[in-house]
C-alpha cells in the first residue's frame, strides 16, 4: 500500500496504476477528511488506474479543507481562487514526478467544490470531473472554456447543505463553459452512497476517460 508522502507542495498519497491508458484520478476529500479517505472509492471506481490524493491545506477547527469558508456554504472566494491555483500547480508537479496524464477529478463535498473551482479557473488541468454534492464555488466565475470535457454532477434531492437551485446553477455554469455535462439528482442526502459509486463507475466507463 502507498504511504503518505510529504514532498511536493501538498501532502498526498499516490497509488501507481496498472491501466496506463486510462486517466489517473485526482481524489479530493470532504471537510475533515484527508489523503486516505477516497483511495477506496477511487480503486472501486476505476480499478488499476493511478490515484493521486492530496490533503487540503486549510484547517478549520483542525479539519482539513481545500479552501476557507466564512460559514457553511459561504466561501472566502479570494481563497478559493488562490487555493485552486495552488492545487493546479500541485497537479503539474505530481504529473512530472510520477509521469501522469491529466487526471479526472473525483471530489466529494468540499473536494467537489475545489474541483469545480479548478474547472473554472484552471480548465486545462483536468481531463474531466466527477463532482459529488458540489455547489457553486464562485459567485462571479471567470470566463473559461472546457472544450467538451466530460463532467458528472451527482446531487442529493435531500441534501441539507446544497440547495437544489445551487446545484442546478453550477451545472448550467459548467455547461455554458463548454463541459459535456450530466447532472443526476439522487434520492439521497449529502453523504456518499452506493448509488454514487455505481453511477460514477458507469459514467467513467462510458465517457472513455
Nearer to ligand MLT, 90 or 108 (CB): 108
Residues 6 or more apart in contact with residue 146 via CB below 8 angstroms? 119, 123, 174, 177, 178, 179
User: Which residue in 17, 29, 31, 177 binds ligand MLT (CB under 6 A)?
Assistant: 31
- In the shown chain, the binding pattern of residues 68 to 107 toward ligand MLT, with x for contact by CB under 6 A and - for none, equals -x--xx----------------------------------
Handedness of CA 205, 135, 155, 59 (dihedral sign): positive
Nearer to ligand MLT, 128 or 137 (CB): 137
- Find residue 13's DSSP bridge partners: 4, 53
Residue labelled with grid coordinates 509521469? 99
Residues 134-163 that bind ligand MLT (CB under 6 A): 161
- In the complex, least distance from residue 17 CB atom to ligand MLT, rounded to whole angstroms: 28
Where do runs of H (alpha helix) occur along 19-121? 39-45, 77-98, 110-121
Residues that bind ligand MLT (CB under 6 A): 30-31, 69, 72-73, 109-110, 113, 161
Amino acid at each position: 500500500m502507498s504511504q503518505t508522502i510529504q514532498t511536493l507542495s501538498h501532502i498526498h498519497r499516490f497509488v501507481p496504476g496498472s491501466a496506463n491508458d486510462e486517466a489517473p484520478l485526482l481524489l479530493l476529500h470532504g471537510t475533515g477528511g484527508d489523503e486516505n479517505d477516497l483511495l477506496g472509492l477511487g480503486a472501486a471506481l476505476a480499478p488499476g488506474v493511478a490515484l493521486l490524493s492530496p490533503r487540503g491545506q486549510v484547517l478549520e477547527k483542525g479539519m482539513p479543507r481545500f479552501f476557507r469558508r466564512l460559514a457553511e456554504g459561504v466561501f472566502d472566494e479570494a481563497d478559493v481562487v488562490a487555493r485552486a491555483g495552488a492545487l493546479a500547480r500541485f497537479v503539474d508537479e505530481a504529473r512530472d514526478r510520477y509521469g501522469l496524464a491529466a487526471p479526472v477529478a473525483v471530489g466529494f463535498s468540499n473536494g467537489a467544490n475545489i474541483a469545480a473551482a479548478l474547472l473554472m479557473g484552471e480548465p486545462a488541468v483536468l481531463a474531466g470531473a466527477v463532482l459529488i454534492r458540489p455547489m457553486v464555488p464562485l459567485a462571479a466565475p471567470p470566463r473559461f472554456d472546457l472544450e467538451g470535457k466530460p463532467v458528472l454532477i451527482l446531487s442529493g434531492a435531500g441534501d441539507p447543505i446544497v440547495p437544489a437551485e445551487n446545484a442546478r446553477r453550477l451545472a448550467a455554469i459548467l455547461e455554458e463553459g463548454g463541459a459535456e455535462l450530466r447532472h443526476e439528482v439522487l434520492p439521497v442526502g449529502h453523504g456518499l452512497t452506493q448509488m454514487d459509486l455505481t453511477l460514477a463507475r458507469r459514467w467513467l466507463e462510458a465517457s472513455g476517460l
